[in-house]
Amino acid sequence: MRKYRGSSKLLLQPRTTNEVSQILKYCNSRLLAVVPQGGNTGLVGGSVPVFDEVIINMGSMNNLITFDKGSGVLVCEAGCILENLVSFVDDHGFIMPLDLGAKGSCQIGGNVSTNAGGLRLVRYGSLHGNILGLEAVLANGDVIDMLGTLRKDNTGYDLKHLFIGSEGSLGIVTKVSIHTPPKLSSVNLAFLACKDYFSCQKLLREAKRKLGEILSAFEFLDNQSMDLVLTYLEGVRNPFSSSMHNFYVLIETTGSEESYDREKLEAFLLSSMEGGLISDGVIAQDINQASSFWRIREGIAEALMKAGAVYKYDLSLPVEKMYDLVEKMRQRLGETAKVIGYGHLGDGNLHLNISAPRYDDMIFAQIEPYVYEWTSEHRGSISAEHGLGLMKANKIFYSKSPKTVQLMSSIKKLLDPNGILNPYKVLPHSLSSH
Ligand code: FAD
Ligand code: 2HG
Ligand code: ZN
């Protein structure tokens, strides 16, 4: 992101859980801080060494361990790249329950540690539901085996959840057991244009009711996002002849009955068109056209990086209020920066991005703390899916009560009393234990 710069004298690439354990045991005894690193695609600076932390890069722990073709339960090492897992389970007729633009580089251990959301959460739910078990190594080198493969297990506290989304601050995830759903035969993707944000919102409500069980993604982007992609990414074409649309929505359906699913989607689109919710629309005719539609949505982050400096906010907000913030930011910033809004509308997750030629304190002062205050006032979350990392460790109080943060800090002290695991991240500096 050209924003987080770290330095380190040492990068270690353990190949086994035992090596991770020995590294942590040694570092803990010598009070050496470490930063766990997956595919380095995180957007909040979580995998960056801040001063001189030892980097523990998980890329060499990339073995598949078992795959149960009956239940679809996959057990693998944390360093497996998501896209490789996608291909592996695809060969057996399954899909991964999460999908994100960074799939070619991000690792399943990084996904678990950030509790990544992505494009399919609306259908398959969060990793808190899909991860069945974990193996993690604590700061003192203890290996905690929670690598269950069962859907149900109520034997006391379900501690694996502590590691899902804790961004390497409580332990290093070394193995993962994940439930993969069967791959269904019929997938349809529609790229739709809407005249205003209200129509996108209403379309979502209707889609949840009328597409119900086959709805597998509901994403939106505004015309500034589309412009950016068309300007900065090579080979991307606008699927519509007119460039006058204000908003775009991508709706994917996934089901098992091709003609039924297609009919259902077409009937839904027709009624939405008649009701004035959609002004134009295209259904992908084949897999290539579907990929070209996804390229537009998934390419926004890349286009933003190419456009210059970018201030990123990943917010959970009530769907009705979400776009008000984008408009408020445009009023505040005027011509000084481009404000773009897109995201996982089906999950109430806005990606507010502010793009400027270069990082600038005056622009920054117009953005923060306003964005966080506004989000907090509307009872939103300042991190929907990317985590807190370095960027938002000190902002946690906008979304969590002091007592909750205190309890988090007590858990951190219990598991990592010397504060060697990913310091300066997640928890505010005032509560860090070192
Ligand atoms: P890293 O960036 O290497 O690390 C992330 C955090 O996890 C760090 O705090 C690190 O210390 C910790 N960590 C990594 N591995 C381990 C481990 N084995 N044990 C303990 N801690 C560990 N995110 C979404 O949620 N949804 C999206 O749709 C999405 N799309 C993206 C699209 C693009 C183009 C890009 C660049 C990023 C996107 N992201 C998205 C953000 C990012 O890809 C995710 O957060 C991803 O889960 C990070 O995985 P990683 O392996 O790259 O982790
Ligand atoms: C996405 O959904 C990612 O594309 C990146 O989460 C979001 O760039 C962003 O702000
Ligand atoms: Zn996202």
If one counts the domains in the chain, the total is 3
Is the same domain home to 236 and 353? no
pLDDT for 292: 98
Assigned domain for 418 exists: no
Q: How confident is the model at residue 265 (pLDDT cuts 50, 70, 90)?
A: very high
Sequence letter at residue 113:
S
Is the same domain home to 34 and 173? yes
pLDDT for 242: 78
Is the same domain home to 151 and 2? yes
Residue that is written with structure tokens 């519509």 in the block: 240
Q: Name the residue range of residue 215's domain.
A: 186-300
Is the same domain home to 99 and 213? no
Tell me whether residue 76 is exposed, middle or buried, using C-beta atoms within 10 angstroms of its C-beta: 0 to 12, 13 to 18, 19 or more: buried
Q: How confident is the model at residue 98 (pLDDT cuts 50, 70, 90)?
A: very high
Which runs of consecutive H residues, i.e. helices, occur in 275-355? 287-298, 300-307, 319-333
pLDDT for 432: 65
Atom of ligand 1 nearest to the CA of 116: 25
Contacts 24+ apart (CB under 8 A), 406-410: 406/431, 409/433
Whether the complex's predicted ipTM surpasses the cut of 0.90: yes
Taking CA 51 as the corner, what is the angle to CA 49 and CA 56, rounded to the nearest 5 degrees?
Answer: 35
pLDDT for 233: 98
Assigned domain for 175 exists: yes
pLDDT above 70: percentage of residues in the chain: 99
Strands 73-77 and 172-179: antiparallel
Assigned domain for 412 exists: no
Assigned domain for 1 exists: yes
Assigned domain for 277 exists: yes
Atom of ligand 2 nearest to the CA of 385: 6
Compute the distance from residue 142 Cα to the ligand 3 centre, in Å. Answer: 34
Compute the distance from residue 237 Cα to the ligand 1 centre, in Å. Answer: 28
Is the same domain home to 167 and 55? yes
Pocket of ligand 1 (CB under 6 A): 35-43, 46-47, 58, 78, 100-102, 106-107, 109-111, 113-114, 116-118, 167-168, 172-173, 301-302, 385-386, 389, 422, 425
- Sheet order of strands, 143-146 included: 64-68, 73-77, 172-179, 131-137, 143-146
Torsion of CA 242, 244, 248, 254, to 10 degrees: -20
The structure tokens listed for 398 are 């906008």
- Among the candidates 252, 272, 300, a domain finishes at 300
Residue that is written with structure tokens 């505040």 in the block: 332
Compute the distance from residue 35 Cα to the ligand 1 centre, in Å. Answer: 13
384-394 per-position pLDDT tens digit: 999 999 999 99
- Among the candidates 267, 300, 333, a domain finishes at 300
Sequence letter at residue 315:
L
Is the same domain home to 130 and 222? no
Is the same domain home to 52 and 152? yes
Q: Return the CATH number at 333.
A: 3.30.70.2740
**For ligand 1, atom 38: residue with the closest CA:** 102
The structure tokens listed for 155 are 């034997």
Is the same domain home to 251 and 103? no
- Ligand having the closest approach to the CA of 221: 2
Contact 97, 178 (CB under 8 A): yes
pLDDT for 241: 85
Assigned domain for 408 exists: no
Q: How confident is the model at residue 434 (pLDDT cuts 50, 70, 90)?
A: very low
Whether the per-residue pLDDT at 433 is higher than 60: the answer is no
* Mean pLDDT, range 55-61, rounded to an integer: 98
Pocket of ligand 2 (CB under 6 A): 101, 300-301, 304, 312, 314, 351, 353
**For ligand 1, atom 35: residue with the closest CA:** 102
pLDDT for 1: 78
Compute the distance from residue 23 Cα to the ligand 2 centre, in Å. Answer: 33
Is the same domain home to 14 and 145? yes
Compute the distance from residue 322 Cα to the ligand 1 centre, in Å. Answer: 24
Whether the per-residue pLDDT at 126 is higher than 80: the answer is yes
Compute the distance from residue 409 Cα to the ligand 3 centre, in Å. Answer: 27
Q: Return the CATH number at 215.
A: 3.30.70.2190
* Mean pLDDT, range 4-18, rounded to an integer: 96
Output the average pLDDT for the chain. Answer: 97
Is the same domain home to 232 and 340? no
Is the same domain home to 3 and 141? yes
Q: Return the CATH number at 84.
A: 3.30.465.10
**For ligand 2, atom 8: residue with the closest CA:** 301
Assigned domain for 321 exists: yes
Atom of ligand 2 nearest to the CA of 343: 2
- Among the candidates 249, 282, 300, a domain finishes at 300
322-363 per-position pLDDT tens digit: 999 999 999 999 999 999 999 999 999 999 999 999 999 999
pTM: 0.97
The Cα 42–Cα 7 span in angstroms is 17
Assigned domain for 320 exists: yes
Residues 6+ apart with CB under 8 A from 307: 228, 231, 232, 338, 355
Compute the distance from residue 225 Cα to the ligand 2 centre, in Å. Answer: 11
Inter-axis angle of helices 197-210 and 319-333, nearest 10: 160
Is the same domain home to 317 and 237? no
The structure tokens listed for 216 are 């597998």
Residues 6+ apart with CB under 8 A from 366: 332, 333, 336
Whether the per-residue pLDDT at 272 is higher than 60: the answer is yes
pLDDT for 3: 87
* Mean pLDDT, range 402-408, rounded to an integer: 98
Atom of ligand 2 nearest to the CA of 119: 2
Compute the distance from residue 257 Cα to the ligand 1 centre, in Å. Answer: 35
Helix, strand, coil shares of the chain, percent, nearest 5, are: 40, 25, 40
